[in-house]
Structure 1
């Protein structure tokens, strides 16, 4: 299934992307694409529905973030060896974890703000993992059973805020609009192997990132298991699993985003995002 949320910011309704290209309304069936809806029983109940029996959503509504009420937005740094090298760092021996503020979450086609004082806003296409059931001290061979599905993430980053302003990476990762997710949450059963997905990003029509999740240092099962040793993962938590090479910081000389540019990114089976960059608003 391809689950989504549509409507104005803060007023999104749950929906399903049907094979015929329509959006089908799930309001009245589930409260949101969040919480218990993401568990095994909730997804099974949705899977049992006949999509043709669901109301068609008219027009072309805004597509919002594909998961609601996200409790934790956990990110993994330097998880592709070739990306680590392009930033001048050695590949890590254990996953590097940091948090992205949930207020950064936005829709897949929403505008991305360039923060005030920014000179180094950058792009990062990533595979997102959406947790479906509580996971604490989970073994690696049991980890995927706790995954509801996958989504596309753009881990937008301000490199000067991240690395030149002291402290941890979070301040460079958390500006409003720096976490577009979606368009869909694609349930786990539709992705045969999360470590065999093409992943790419373009800026103004130029391909900047072109990789595969097979080159991750730590795969999805390892990451879910590893993170669960340090914190309990809850339904709706999102893990952004790292980015392949080709980020702006890695170019020589580096290139960064400015207002008026367009990012387009995608992952096999998870859809495509498009964002226009704008100056930050209040």
Structure 2
């Protein structure tokens, strides 16, 4: 049998740490090649683990982070399956009570991107981010590792959901968060903004165009920081040039600002790049 992938290996390792009973066939079910044509056994194993979360969390002698990582890894691996049996399980699990906040956030994102009670699950994710975004004072209490990982995970869930659904409320929430983010969460979200712009360019630009000038500058600076290599930068510029020239002066001004910002690193001497039109100065009025 081949070596398991990261999340499978991590899940097995942590299950052993908490004394969870694993059979040989359970380990085989986690092997993607071995179970390629038998997803049912793989999904059934995830169901068993996830429904045993009371036992998993009863192990108070095991670090809380490890206990929740067991649940999160099982959910991440379940999330890879867009099959009716997996979707039904996600629907069932998302209606159960008693999840830790870290677990419920991932489960809500899994359900929302499948269209399962979308508004309810998206609203939960949006409600979770602000307390964590403003609560990094936990760093002073020695909890920085978990707090930072949580914020990065929550922004990832929301960014992925925006890419799936093009929901402007989600993008507005992430834009509001970037203005107060710092450290690794800010760097991570900057990279997410790059993906979001590439995959949902029209919604991204139109949403950004509705913001005030200071916020626009913050987001563009974040994009500039997050998209660091020339290849990705050229992809963004190509998307903007190809698809986004509209009659809306405000949106067009945003496009010019992003392109000019990127040009300062990749082709500073290129005098053919468009400059910000005069109309942009009046577009915010």
Higher relative contact order (CA 8 A, sep 6+): 1
Coarse TM-score class (shorter-chain normalised): under 0.3
TM-score by length of 1: 0.25
TM-score by length of 2: 0.25
- Structure number with greater Rg is 2
Per residue, is there more strand in 1 or in 2?
A: 1
